[in-house]
Amino acid sequence: KDVKDYLHLLDKPLDEFEAPGARNSTLGEDALWHVLYSLGQDNTYLNKRKAYWGLVLAVRDRMLEKWTAVQRKYYANDDKRLYYLSLEFLPGKFLRGNLLALGLENEAHEFLHEHDLSLDEIVDEECEPGLGNGGLGRLASCYMDSMATLGLPAYGYGIRYSYGLFRQEIRNGHQVEQPDNWLHEGSHWLIPRPHNLFPIRFYGTVNEWLDDDGMLRHDWRGGDLVMAMANDMYVPGYRNGHVNSIRLWEARPHKEFVLSSFNAGDYIGSVQEKISDENISMVLYPSDDAPEGKTLRLKQQYFFVAATMRDMVRRFKKLNKPWDQLPEKNVVQLNETHPAIAIPELMRMLLDEELLGWEEAWCICQKLFAYTNHTILPEALETWPVKLIERLLPRHMQIIYEINRRFLEEVRLHFRDEPELPSRVSLISAGPEQRVRMSHLAIVGSFSVNGVSSLHTQILKDRVFHDFIRIFPDRFNNKTNGITPRRWLRQCNVPLSWLLSEHLGCNWITDLTQLKKLRELVDDVEFRHDWEQCRLTNKKRLADYIEKVNGITVNPHSIFDVQVKRFHEYKRQLLNILHIISLYNNIRRNPDVKMQPCTFIFGGKAAPSYQMAKDIIYLINCVARRVNSDPHTRNFLKVIFLANYNVSLAQLLVPATDVSEQISTAGYEASGTGNMKFALNGALTIGTRDGANIEIGERVGDGNIYLFGLCEKEVLALRRRGYDPWEFYKNDSELREVLDMINSDQFTPGDSTAFSSIFNSLLTGGDPFMVLADYRAYVETHKRISHEYVDRDLWIKKSIMNTAGMGYFSSDRAVKEYIDGIWSLEPDV
């Protein structure tokens, strides 16, 4: 069947959701108009580029009409607004998703068809904004999609980085980082708003003065000013006429030139100043699950938070309401601690500019802010040196001291017999260099603190923030992450979407729980056949990509086993590659082995400063080179590393995956969201009892997931008892062989020390992430997978049961839980 035969299944009629101001012209007519009048190009013939940009502008017009109508409605209805503050967003490419949400897919297909073009070709023209590192940024984008689809009065806020996360190239097996100049052609999805401009101060001094009531007041002045300019990105809801926006701040020089130095003839000096001001929004920090303690990063955090608080207060002031209604009309969600400096910033504005008293201002803050924690890795919990904040944001440091003083006074009062408690919960850590603990600031200044999976929230309560639970027993809650079904099924897996809509209707797109009805179809032979065909179509598409990009032929009937995510020791890509090496050894030992061919696919970036993660990438590529060129194993085993893993590549990989690798050391992965994407698309998970894997298991059923290895409690217990990786090395000959190969020149002929860092970390270094402890269980589980995959009926049934069980993991469900449990907002459609 042709694409067009199915499209009606996925499209509801337009008139159901057209907003006021709908136009008479067609999308194609408008695109042609824009090619001539906005791009200034001949529109009598179209190429891919012109068609792409013309369509972007025509789609954008429609979003703008809806967005302005929605903004008007917010004011008219006096709606409570949500501000979602995140230093990262990873929206992926826009065109296809926006067409889909606005119900314009058919029109776009027809228009392109008339010009001998296709949507697939022209989306190649689109550059993906990499304004995030990984899970946290992508989650923010999934939530923005759901907020718009649920018609929430919500705004995303972040930074318009000129350079997103680096572009990864692999040269001679090594990761090489290249700048990602995603704006080199400009982006029409982003609307600059030069009049939404706020001055942001750094450094300077604090003066004291007495007001008419004799109250001591503070005034922060001097220092450097940088301008924050708004750029808006639009997020349409799915077929509901609702459009929200993400406001991304861009740093601009305060003055085009500093006049004094200009007059003094220091032309270069004044230009230099302009450049350093703009640096603030120049580049995203490429660290995931580990903060970069650099001044520029703190500047970025304050810069976007200060501009956002100004914007919120600007809108609130239009309502002419008393200050105590600020939290009735607004709620601010802090995505991680990165925006936590918003708490002292709002205090400063209320105290120093609006002249409120401390109690009143603090009461407002505590009712306004909510904080989501996404990590328990100690090295990833942000702290900033007191000295740095004192210099960069002197007034904020005073306010943090005062918040802390009052908080600790209360703690001492209520926990008299625990003299150690105040220093443990203090916002400021003691030691040779005092530091501000941003998570403590976020907890104390918020009315809600949530983790992102059941296990993660439990760990926060039991371990990481245990003391705070007793101080604020009602503050902690769980909101298990979710993913948007629009991008992660409807958009990325068109064949399966057709099949689902044919059998279930289209409502699953906005009500993912409908997927449970698939359970009634598992015994239908024809349905299972169609299911398998969909999967095969996706696998062939991925195989074509691998052939084109990596020049390696892979067998689409082999098991596609995929691990794509940031490279981090706790995510244990190492465990995966150790298993592959042992498989390789076994095939070489038994050339007549009967086994299901397997294609192991890796993708992901390592933080440029994280040497061990880069060494692991190099190891994978060296193993791949050896395995793929060995005539004895070539037909059974392929290892592929796909460079520059990003949202677009994920959309290609996710629907083509048979086995999803989610193998972090139990207790370390807060939730994971990749795990959800794969299972939703019918992959089977091999995973540890970590993060959301546990909840996925509960929903898809024990028999449809491969959980293995130590659970979180066992990891802790083993560590307490004294974990000795050498024992595993000594007692498991297969494992020993693999490790010895890594510690030789087998994969790097002539260089036997290339991977000694890895070998040493696993043995003499104590194997901090317990790779060796889980090795045997992992290998045995893989044997089971390989065995069960051959029983196609069994496997396809399990695959269907995965999709059927994943309804819960929709970001619509997650956002509804935030609405009910934290935000108290009214959907507005």
List, by residue number, the catalytic residues. Answer: 374, 565-566, 571, 673, 677
User: Least distance from C-beta 531 to ligand 9GP, angstroms?
Assistant: 28
514 versus 665: smaller Cβ distance to ligand 9GP: 665
63 versus 686: smaller Cβ distance to ligand 9GP: 686
Segment near ligand 9GP (CB under 6 A); pick from 2-10, 382-390, 513-521, 670-678: 670-678
User: Least distance from C-beta 102 to ligand 9GP, angstroms?
Assistant: 28
User: Least distance from C-beta 139 to ligand 9GP, angstroms?
Assistant: 4
- Residues 35-94 contacting ligand 9GP, CB under 6 A: none
User: Least distance from C-beta 86 to ligand 9GP, angstroms?
Assistant: 11
289 in contact with ligand 9GP (CB under 6 A): yes
The helix or strand, by DSSP H or E, that contains position 250, with its residue range, turns out to be strand 243-253
Phi, psi values for residue 78, rounded to 5°: 55, 45
User: Least distance from C-beta 608 to ligand 9GP, angstroms?
Assistant: 17
Strand 243-253 relative to strand 224-236, pairing:
antiparallel
336 in contact with ligand 9GP (CB under 6 A): yes
Instruction: Count CB atoms within 10 A of the CB of residue 171.
Output: 9
Provide the token pair at 169: 């190239």
Segment near ligand 9GP (CB under 6 A); pick from 63-71, 655-663, 669-677, 775-783: 669-677
Cα angle for residues 736, 740, 746 (degrees, 5° grid)? 135
Residue from the set 601, 670, 804, 822 that interacts with ligand 9GP by CB under 6 A: 670
Strand 190-202 relative to strand 224-236, pairing:
antiparallel
> Hunting for tokens 């289209």 — which residue is that?
506
404 versus 671: smaller Cβ distance to ligand 9GP: 671
134 in contact with ligand 9GP (CB under 6 A): yes
339 in contact with ligand 9GP (CB under 6 A): no
Residues 465, 468, 474, 479: what is their CA dihedral angle, to the nearest 10 degrees? -20
Q: 820 burial class (0-12, 13-18, 19+ CB within 10 angstroms)? A: exposed
Q: Which residues of 179-188 are buried (b: 16+ CB within 10 A; e: fewer)?
A: ebebeeeebb
- Residues 476-505 contacting ligand 9GP, CB under 6 A: 481
Provide the token pair at 41: 């190009």
Residue from the set 28, 691, 709, 807 that interacts with ligand 9GP by CB under 6 A: 691
661 in contact with ligand 9GP (CB under 6 A): no
User: Least distance from C-beta 691 to ligand 9GP, angstroms?
Assistant: 5
- Residue 375, C-beta contacts closer than 8 angstroms, at least 6 positions apart: 289, 336, 381, 670
Amino acid sitting at position 441: L
103 in contact with ligand 9GP (CB under 6 A): no
> Hunting for tokens 């509960």 — which residue is that?
698
Residue from the set 281, 446, 673, 781 that interacts with ligand 9GP by CB under 6 A: 673
The residue of the chain with the least Cβ separation from ligand 9GP equals: 135
Segment near ligand 9GP (CB under 6 A); pick from 133-141, 162-170, 266-274, 323-331: 133-141
> Hunting for tokens 């392109």 — which residue is that?
112
134 versus 682: smaller Cβ distance to ligand 9GP: 134
User: Least distance from C-beta 764 to ligand 9GP, angstroms?
Assistant: 28
Residue from the set 65, 107, 311, 669 that interacts with ligand 9GP by CB under 6 A: 669
> Hunting for tokens 């409570």 — which residue is that?
80
Residue from the set 27, 136, 159, 397 that interacts with ligand 9GP by CB under 6 A: 136
Calpha distance 769→796 (Å, rounded) = 33
Residues 583, 586, 587, 588: what is their CA dihedral angle, to the nearest 10 degrees? 120
Provide the token pair at 326: 């600020």
Provide the token pair at 541: 């598409």
Amino acid sitting at position 185: E
Residue from the set 452, 512, 623, 804 that interacts with ligand 9GP by CB under 6 A: 452
Segment near ligand 9GP (CB under 6 A); pick from 39-47, 407-415, 665-673, 786-794: 665-673
Residue from the set 245, 671, 781, 810 that interacts with ligand 9GP by CB under 6 A: 671
Strand 659-662 relative to strand 559-564, pairing:
parallel
53 versus 809: smaller Cβ distance to ligand 9GP: 809
104 versus 653: smaller Cβ distance to ligand 9GP: 653
667 in contact with ligand 9GP (CB under 6 A): no
- Residues 367-396 contacting ligand 9GP, CB under 6 A: 374-375, 380
Calpha distance 389→428 (Å, rounded) = 12
Residue from the set 139, 492, 509, 619 that interacts with ligand 9GP by CB under 6 A: 139
Sheet of 383-385: strand order equals 383-385, 435-437, 428-429
Residue from the set 61, 128, 288, 530 that interacts with ligand 9GP by CB under 6 A: 288
240 versus 457: smaller Cβ distance to ligand 9GP: 457
First to last CA, the chain: 36
> Hunting for tokens 């000096």 — which residue is that?
269
Provide the mask over 299-328, with x wherever binding to ligand 9GP is found by CB under 6 A and - wherever it is not.
------------------------------
- 129 DSSP assignment: P
User: Least distance from C-beta 410 to ligand 9GP, angstroms?
Assistant: 29
Q: Is the dihedral of CA 74, 75, 80, 82 positive or negative?
A: positive
Cα angle for residues 116, 121, 123 (degrees, 5° grid)? 130
DSSP track, 679-736: HHTTPEEEE-S-TTHHHHHHHH-GGGSEE-S--HHHHHHHHHH---HHHHHHH-HHHH
Sheet of 684-687: strand order equals 637-642, 598-603, 559-564, 659-662, 684-687, 706-707
Assign residue 151 a region: left if phi > 0, alpha if psi is -120 to 50, beta otherwise?
Answer: left
153 versus 691: smaller Cβ distance to ligand 9GP: 691
**Coil vs helix vs strand at 591:** coil
338 versus 528: smaller Cβ distance to ligand 9GP: 338
Percentages helix, strand, coil for the chain (3-state, rounded to 5) are 50, 15, 35
327 versus 691: smaller Cβ distance to ligand 9GP: 691
User: Least distance from C-beta 338 to ligand 9GP, angstroms?
Assistant: 9
User: Least distance from C-beta 324 to ligand 9GP, angstroms?
Assistant: 33
User: Least distance from C-beta 663 to ligand 9GP, angstroms?
Assistant: 13
333 versus 481: smaller Cβ distance to ligand 9GP: 481
Provide the mask over 551-590, with x wherever binding to ligand 9GP is found by CB under 6 A and - wherever it is not.
----------------------------------------
- 350 DSSP assignment: I
Amino acid sitting at position 554: V
Cα angle for residues 409, 396, 325 (degrees, 5° grid)? 80
Instruction: From 281, 298, 285, select the one nearest 226 (Cα to Cα).
Output: 281
621 versus 673: smaller Cβ distance to ligand 9GP: 673
Query: Residue 695 in contact with residue 673, Cβ under 8 Å?
Result: no
Provide the token pair at 754: 């290339």
Instruction: From 115, 99, 98, select the one nearest 107 (Cα to Cα).
Output: 99
Binding footprint of ligand 9GP, residue count (CB under 6 A): 18
User: Least distance from C-beta 336 to ligand 9GP, angstroms?
Assistant: 5
86 versus 538: smaller Cβ distance to ligand 9GP: 86
User: Least distance from C-beta 480 to ligand 9GP, angstroms?
Assistant: 10
Q: Using CB under 6 A as the criterion, which residues of the chain lie in contact with ligand 9GP when the complex forms?
A: 134-136, 139, 288-289, 336, 374-375, 380, 452, 481, 669-673, 691
